[in-house]
A and B are shown apart, each in its own frame.
Chain A
Amino acid sequence: MTDSDERTLRATRRGFLVTTAGLIAVAGSGIGGGAAAAIPADAKGTPDATEPAKHDIEPFWGKHQSGIVTPAQTHTYFASFDLVTTKRDEVIAMFRRWTAAAGRLSTGQTAEPLGYDAQSPAADTGDVLGLPPSRLTLTFGFGPGLFVKDGKDRYGLAAHRPEALVDMPVFAGDQLVETRTGGDLSVQACADDAQVAFHAVRQLARLAYDVAQIRWVQAGFVADFGKKATPRNLMGFKDGTGNPSVGDPKMMDQFVWVGSEGPDWMRGGSYVVARRSRIALEHWDRMNVGFQEQTFGRQKLSGAPLGKKKEYEPVDLAATDHDANLVIPENSHVRLAHHSSNDGARILRRSYSYNDGVNFTAERWPPWRQGMEYDAGLLFVCYQRDPRTGFIKIFERMSKFDMMNQFVTNTGSGIFACPGGIGKGEFIGQRIFEKA
């Protein structure tokens, strides 16, 4: 610790706006001088400027982790980590650091109190200083590797692996890349600003040095279509119409939150499945709109189920035309995903589009095009009470028969147990470590 810590900015990032000019000036003078320069002001004295608007903050502490039923922000940065330490205490210490940082970041503060010491790395990378909290949420999950990895119980947690945290089965058409798959821990950062989301994961990764390292990440976005509008994905269709309502606590209890069937540390938590689904946009863009609609089972413009006029009209899977053909085709996405086709199974989708430029790819359909194509698609994210009766049940059949499979290839995948919410004074995973 240096003297400058005593003069730490306790301010929010927005508060930092008022001192930014000063900081730059001071920092500039410090370069080459080598001396730890003092930051002269504590910006907290100007409440109007320092307090972010209420709607900019999503609560971090609570019964459930945020970022699950939280209305979707416009950006995500989903990270999977491998634990590289063999020491349980180091994992616990990291979770303590993560918890403290997450609590601060969620309110727009720096990851750790920010001092200034020209001789030391900063306590925060500083790249979002001046930005509002942007409704940042950080949602933490435990992958199978936290409990057992390569047959080893590294942290004495093997006996506490929930039954529902199964290894993900191989699905038809999976073309999973190892470096985009799995992981011991997950952090889903969502915010209304891409840089805020990335910044948050970057700080956590810094706080995890030598304990955990990033295995894969995926950034995603969903444009702001307006509060009441269902967003459109890159295929041009509304995505998420059939989601169970997050405003219905009973439904959330039934389908999203782990109840008494799970270990106590998972109660109020949920299981997340994340899949990186590359979409052959070049192939899709050549399709007639009518065929695209048959593939989805919905109309492109209105989002209405085929045979209906409005987006939220119920899907009628039994409807037939005058030739007795199903109005919503047998292998359409909507039919296969619908809860009535899956013994009532439902999941809460919280997906984002992604766009990682172009790279060389070989399509997996006739005419077997090869070439530079968009590496873009969907970071499919869903939460559920039990993946065995949620995503896995639903996707087992979809992976074989969904017409959409002619355009979508899953290249990454992860499954994580997101424990129940974190109370103030607790740290992430505290209840499981106390048990074990």
Chain B
Amino acid sequence: MPNETRSLPGKSLLALAALVAVAAAPVQAQEPTGLLDSIHRHKTLTSTVTDNGDLNPYAVIVAPISVGKIQKDDILVDNFNNVSNLQGTGGTIVDYNPTTKKTTLFAKLPQHLAQCPGGIGLTAAMAMLKSGWVIVGSTPSTDGTTRTRGEGCLIVLDSNGQFVTAWTGPNISGPWGNIAMVDNGPTATLFVSMAGFSVPGPEVRDPESGFPVTMKKATVLRIELSIPEGKPPEIKGQTVIADGFGHRADKDAFLIGPTGLALAADGTLYVSDAMENRIVAIPDALKRTNSAGTGTTVTKDGLLKRPLALALTVSGHLLACNAKNGQAVEIDPVAGKQLYAQWIDTNQAQSPPGNGDLFGIAMTPDGTGFYYVEDDTNFLMEAAR
């Protein structure tokens, strides 16, 4: 074989160095006014792969109390894939204790539950109530694509990870993004994005764009819960407070639709509208009795690259994880301004680095950093000062 066919391009290392330099610095250098510019360390906390081979971590939540198997401030992470690698088949939740640094299996659901149409595939929709109940969404498939998508359900687990009940109904179809919540103890209000509704498999293409056909039926559902003492939560009311979001199948990402939810103190619900590459605001989310449609645009494009999960910082900024690169973006939603993007996952195994790797995000209890997952390596990560 001629030598030149075995030679390596010398510039690839230079390219790598340049990329790392970009990754290490905020994309926009400004006076420190937010959280991301104070974040300098990214620490691997644990592997989220379970003994049964489940992987592809999605939801990240922090436990509000100690109860059952869970200690306060534990981080719960669920898995969307099972050992077959197929998306929409994972059924496990792991519990990482930041004090002991131990990772344990919190829950392992069977592949099929009679109460959950289509099977089990745990999504980014997960919440833990102060009463100890854990609620987690399922958007299942049997072949890793939406071709075999089931309508899914919201599953209620007790604090020992045992299945209690599952909620289904005409408003529940593909519970997908991270849950925003107000938890008063005996009552709670949850917001869940629903990205299922009529989405066909990725083989059904829009002849104009060539992409899988886009629907406009995704919603945000508000769920009012009553939690009687010592008893599981019950749904007391459901209101679709936003609808008409674009959503579609994706061969790689399984499903694209409204994903991130964050509830501001003034009752505004922020939603990451992945299809439109924007963040929108749904006003009066706690009390409104009708749908705000797709709300009003807070910010669009710029540093956003298909935003996924959202978290709210102490100062009221939004952190959004980008699907299409490994960056987190900080946004001042009141000013409608994008502040920074930091390349929190620089893994070059994807292109651009970190593409498809991020999903869930949650603030640390002290608000000085955040937890996130890396789907490529199945790590729970901590971003800290």
Q: Are A406 and B44 in contact (CB under 8 A)?
A: no
A370 and B144 contacting across the interface, CB-CB below 8 Å = yes
Complex interface: chain B residues within 8 A of A225 (CB): none
Instruction: Tell me whether A288 is interfacial, beta carbon within 8 Å.
Output: yes
Question: In the bound complex, do residue B356 and residue A291 qualify as a contact, i.e. CB atoms below 8 Å apart?
Answer: no
Expressed in whole angstroms, the Cα–Cα distance for A301 and B8 within the complex equals 8
* Residues 250-265 (chain B) with a chain A CB within 8 angstroms: 251-254
Q: Kindly specify which of B32-40, B171-179, B343-351 makes contact with the partner chain.
A: B343-351
Whole-angstrom CA separation of A298 from B269 in the bound complex: 49
Quick one: CB contact mask for A145-187 with B, threshold 8 Å, 1 for yes?
Answer: 0000000000000000000000000101111000000000000
CB neighbors of A among B359-380 (8 A)? 375-378
Interface of A is mostly: loop
- Tell me if B286 counts as interface (CB < 8 A to partner A): no
Instruction: Tell whether, in the assembled complex, residue B15 and residue A290 are in contact, meaning their CB atoms are under 8 Å apart.
Output: yes
Which of A78-86, A95-103, A104-112, A361-369 forms part of the interface with chain B?
A: A361-369
User: Closest residue to A325 on the B side, CB-wise?
Assistant: B20
- A352 at the B interface (CB under 8 A): no
A370 and B7 alpha carbons, distance in the complex (Å): 31
| Distance in angstroms between the alpha carbons of A365 and B377 in the assembled complex | 8
A368 touches B348 (CB 8 A): no
Using Cβ atoms and an 8 Å threshold, which residues of chain B touch A367?
Answer: 252-253, 350, 355-356
B85 & A364 in contact (Cβ 8 Å cutoff)? yes
Instruction: Give the docked Cα–Cα distance between A365 and B345 (Å).
Output: 14
CB <8 Å contact, B349 and A407: yes
| Interface size of A in residues (CB-CB distance below 8 Å) | 33
User: Scoring A residues 271 to 297 as 1 if CB is less than 8 Å from chain B, else 0, what string do you get?
Assistant: 000000000000100111111011000
Interface residue from A289, A366, A407 paired with B356 (Cβ < 8 Å): A366
B83 touches A366 (CB 8 A): no
Asked whether A369 lies within 8 Å of B252 as measured between CB atoms, the reply is: yes
B360 → A minimal CB distance (Å): 14
In the complex, A364 Cα to B349 Cα: how many Å?
Answer: 12
Q: Does B51 contact A (CB under 8 A)?
A: yes
| Known contacts A364-B81, A365-B349, A367-B356; is-contact A289 B378 (Cβ 8 Å) | no
CB distance from B142 to the nearest CB of A (A): 12
Residues on A with C-beta less than 8 A from B376 are 365-366, 406
At the interface, yes or no: A63 with Cβ under 8 Å from chain B?
Answer: no
Q: In the complex, are the beta carbons of A294 and B375 less than 8 A apart?
A: no
Total A-B residue pairs with C-beta atoms closer than 8 Å?
A: 91
- Which residues of A have CB within 8 Å of B85? 175, 361-364, 368
CB-nearest residue of chain B to A299: B8
The answer on a CB contact under 8 Å between B252 and A368 is: yes
Smallest beta-carbon distance B47→chain A, Å: 4
Which B residue sits closest to A288, measured CB to CB? B12
Contact between B84 and A362, CB atoms less than 8 A apart:
yes
A170 and B349 within 8 A (CB): no
Question: Does B16 contact A291, Cβ atoms closer than 8 Å?
Answer: yes
Q: A288-B348, A366-B252 are in contact. Are A174 and B53 (CB under 8 A)?
A: yes
Q: Which residues of the other chain, A, contact B251 by a CB distance below 8 angstroms?
A: 370
Q: Quick one: given A288-B16, A289-B9, A362-B144, are A175 and B252 in contact (CB under 8 Å)? A: no
Q: Which of B26-71 contact A (CB under 8 A)?
A: 44, 47, 49, 51, 53, 55-56
Measured between beta carbons, the chain A residues less than 8 angstroms from B20 are 325
Binary CB contact string for chain B from 145 to 182 against chain A (1 if under 8 A, 0 otherwise): 10000000000000000000000000000000000000
In the assembled complex, B86 has its CB within 8 A of some CB on chain A: yes
Interchain CA distance A172-B55 in the complex, whole Å: 9
**Is there contact, CB below 8 Å, between A405 and B355?**
no
CA distance A91 to B56 in the complex (A): 45
Does residue B313 face the partner (Cβ distance < 8 Å to A)?
no
In the assembled complex, the CB of B305 is this many whole angstroms from the nearest CB of chain A, namely 14
- A300 adjacent to chain B (CB < 8 Å): yes
Instruction: Decide if B87 is an interface residue (CB 8 Å cutoff).
Output: yes
Q: Does B114 contact A (CB under 8 A)?
A: no
Q: Does A401 sit at the interface, judged by CB under 8 A?
A: yes
> Does A400 touch B at the CB level, under 8 Å?
yes
Considering the complex, which residues of chain A in the window 391-418 have a beta carbon less than 8 Å from any beta carbon of chain B?
Answer: 400-401, 403, 405-407
Q: Which residue of B lies closest to A365 (CB)?
A: B376
**Chain A CB within 8 A of B95 CB:** no
User: Which A residues are in CB contact (< 8 Å) with B253?
Assistant: 367-368
A334 to chain B, nearest CB (A): 17
Cβ of B1: which chain A residues have Cβ within 8 Å of it? Answer: none
Shortest beta-carbon distance from A181 to chain B in Å: 13
Q: How far is the CA of A367 from the CA of B348 in the complex (A)?
A: 12
| Contact status B350-A173, CB under 8 Å | no
Give residues of chain B (305-361) contacting chain A, Cβ–Cβ below 8 Å: 347-351, 355-357
Q: Which residues of B contact A300 (CB under 8 A)?
A: 8
Cα distance A8–B347 in the bound complex, in angstroms: 64
Give chain B interface residues in 227-268, CB to chain A under 8 Å.
251-254
A289 to B145 Cα, complex, angstroms:
32
Q: Enumerate B213-231 residues with CB–CB distance to A below 8 Å.
A: none
* Cβ contacts A114-155/B at 8 Å (1 or 0 each): 000000000000000000000000000000000000000000
Check B86 against A290 for contact (C-beta < 8 Å).
no
Q: Closest B residue to A366 by CB, please name it.
A: B356
Q: Cβ of B12 and Cβ of A175 under 8 Å apart? A: no
Closest beta carbon of chain B to A45's beta carbon, Å: 46
Tell me whether A368 and B356 are in contact in the complex, defined as CB-CB below 8 angstroms, given that A287-B348, A294-B16 are known contacts.
Answer: yes
Using CB atoms, name the residue of chain A closest to B13.
Answer: A290
CB distance from B317 to the nearest CB of A (A): 27
Known contacts A173-B49, A364-B55, A365-B376; A290/B84 CB under 8 A: no
Looking at A283, A361, A362, A405, which has the most chain B CB atoms within 10 Å of its CB? A362
Q: How far is the CA of A170 from the CA of B83 in the complex (A)?
A: 13
**A366-B144 in contact given A288-B348, A290-B12, A405-B377 (Cβ < 8 Å):** no
User: How far in angstroms is the closest Cβ of chain A from B25?
Assistant: 12
* CA distance in complex: A408, B82 (Å): 17
Is the CB–CB distance between A173 and B378 below 8 Å?
yes
B83 close to A175 (CB less than 8 A): yes
B39 to chain A, nearest CB (A): 17
Question: A340 to chain B: closest CB distance in Å?
Answer: 20
A289 in contact with B8 given A172-B47, A362-B85, A365-B349 (CB within 8 Å): yes
A170 touches B51 (CB 8 A): yes
Interface residues of A in 346-394 (CB under 8 A from B): 361-370
Contact B349 A288 (CB under 8 A): no
CB distance from B248 to the nearest CB of A (A): 16
Q: Write out the residue numbers on chain A whose beta carbons fall within 8 Å of the beta carbon of B350.
A: 365-367
Complex Cα–Cα for A366 and B85 (A):
11
- In the docked arrangement, what's the CA distance between A294 and B16, Å? 10
Excluding A174-B53, A368-B252, 17 further A-B contacts by CB distance (< 8 Å) are A170-B51, A172-B378, A173-B53, A173-B55, A286-B351, A288-B15, A289-B8, A293-B13, A301-B6, A364-B55, A366-B357, A367-B356, A368-B356, A401-B47, A403-B349, A405-B377, A406-B377
The 5 A-B residue pairs whose C-beta atoms are closest, nearest first, are: A366-B356, A367-B252, A290-B16, A362-B85, A291-B348
Can you show 13 pairs from A to B with CB atoms below 8 A apart?
A287-B349, A288-B15, A289-B12, A291-B16, A291-B349, A301-B7, A362-B144, A365-B349, A366-B350, A366-B357, A367-B355, A368-B252, A406-B347
**Chain B residues within 8 Å of A, Cβ to Cβ:** 6-9, 12-13, 15-16, 20, 44, 47, 49, 51, 53, 55-56, 81, 83-87, 144-145, 251-254, 347-351, 355-357, 375-378
